[in-house]
Amino acid sequence: MNVQEVFDKNRAWVKDKLSIDGDYFSNMSKGQSPEMLYVGCSDSRVTAEELMGLAPGDVFVHRNIANMVPNADLNVMSVVEYAVHHLKVNHIVVCGHYYCGGVKAAMQAQDLGILNPWLRNIRDVYRLHKTELNSIQDEEAKYKRLVELNVQEQCINVIKTAVVQKAIQERGVTVHGWVFDIHSGKLIDLKIDFNKILEDVMEIYRLDH
């Protein structure tokens, strides 16, 4: 990669935007009001805005290895708090992807140094769904299912937070679990039954009455 080309491409992009709307950047500098928070994987193949056909200003984005929402991670928890409480997003998306290296690494018995505690969160997902996952014979199918179940569990982690519980009650914020299939380029809605999960989760994690 020639890094200088990035600056050339940036200049071309600015020119292109200004040719459509001369006030594009001055308007953008006034502030943001995205309606969606997107939590996805850092994988270079899984872009956020581009695969959804969205533009700058449309979505507040957080990406990390394997689209995790660990309860004690100050980074993702700050993003959720800011997006929900201050930006008042109406939709929260956790988007996983098939062929996720992070999920694959978590399924292997290897010491990965500082990645161990991060990936252990995925092993916890496996343990929670061990019966279902162990019943899947095909390795690729099992690995894909773990990607989906990881998205589901990270959505539950989102719902566990006080700020999201409050926003669900006050303005009907919705949580969505999606998977991006790199092989087809398609975005898949896992259609997770959040009402049912919410009932189960809230019974245990409810933070007020």
In angstroms and rounded to an integer, the radius of gyration of the C-alpha atoms of the chain is 19
The least CB distance from residue 2 to Co ion, in Å, is 27
Options 38-46, 73-81, 120-128, 193-201: segment touching Co ion (CB under 5 A): 38-46
- Counting contacts by CB under 5 A, is residue 41 touching Co ion? yes
In the bound complex, what is the minimum distance in angstroms from residue 49's beta carbon to Co ion?
17
User: Rounded CA gap, 64 and 76, in Å?
Assistant: 9
What is the C-alpha to C-alpha distance for residues 96 and 23, in angstroms, rounded to an integer?
Answer: 35
Gap between the Cα atoms of 75 and 82, Å rounded:
11
43 is an interface residue for Co ion by CB under 5 A: yes
Q: Are 115 and 65 in contact (CB under 8 A)?
A: yes
Is the distance from CB of 133 to CB of 126 less than 8 angstroms? yes
Residue in 62, 95, 97, 155 annotated catalytic: 97
- 148 binding Co ion? (CB under 5 A): no
For the question of residue 97 being annotated catalytic, the response is yes
Is 155 tagged catalytic?
no
Is residue 95 part of the annotated active site? The answer reads no
Which chain residues interact with Co ion by CB under 5 A?
A: 41, 43, 100, 102
| Residues with active-site annotation | 41, 43, 45, 97, 100
